Amino acid sequence: MTEPGKTRSRILDAAELLFGERGLDRVSIRDITRGARVNLAAINYHFGTKQDLIAAVFERRIVPVNKARLAALDAIEKSAGKRGPKVETILEAFIRPALEGSEPASKGSVAFSKLFGRCLSEPGPGLEALLKRQFEPLMDRMDAALRKALPHLSRSDIYWRLKFTYGALHHWMLTKDTFRPARVQSVDAEALARKLIAFAAAGFRAP
């Protein structure tokens, strides 16, 4: 007999892959049951509705990364004391957990990056509300930390520069295995983290 946890994971894996390939609206529950090799009752039991399944697909990947980001912010703010952490340290707390979660050992990271990229280009009210719920607490913390580190910047400046930073991070996650010229050497996760943090910090410090 299949363990309930394994059945649930298999459904999530199939849904994640199909949603990334076709989009949320073009995949039916029947498609997912075929992909996961389960019956409709299994999806109803574990998730209920298609919208609940979509939420679970996103939460499985996003929640652990954002928890790690918030924990890292807690740690660096505690260590820095009243003066607050440096820009590079704040950006490291934001960037490194996402890179670690996208390593090849992280099952499904490629499928989810594809899905996330598709959904950012095909937004819908339900998805926007889901992502807002998942990211708003993190963005509030990042905004507060960066305003303390860079008091001369307006909240609008910080918003746009953080958005561009997220764009660079997501673009790398989506295209990390493609579009690299032969003349450019591959780098490990640690070297990549340092490059991306330095790039983003320069953007935040730009006039």
DSSP 8-state code for residue 3 = -
φ, ψ of residue 153 to 5 degrees: the values are: -90, 145
Angle subtended at Cα 181 by Cα 179 and Cα 187, rounded to the nearest 5 degrees: 85
DSSP 8-state code for residue 154 = -
- pTM across the whole model: 0.85
Examine the pLDDT at 87 and tell me if it is beyond 90: yes
* Residue 149 near residue 85 (C-beta atoms within 8 A): yes
pLDDT of res. 42: 94
Q: Which two tokens stand for residue 116?
A: 């996330």
User: Which position has the higher pLDDT, 124 or 138?
Assistant: 138
pLDDT of res. 157: 96
- Give the pLDDT confidence of 129-174 residue by residue, as tens digits: 888 899 999 999 999 999 999 999 999 999 999 999 998 998 887 7
CA distance 43 to 53: 8
What domains can you pick out in the chain, each with its CATH number? 1-48 (1.10.10.60), 51-205 (1.10.357.10)
Angle subtended at Cα 72 by Cα 69 and Cα 76, rounded to the nearest 5 degrees: 140
Examine the pLDDT at 179 and tell me if it is beyond 70: no
DSSP 8-state code for residue 194 = H
CA distance 158 to 144: 10
Q: What percent of the chain has pLDDT over 90?
A: 62
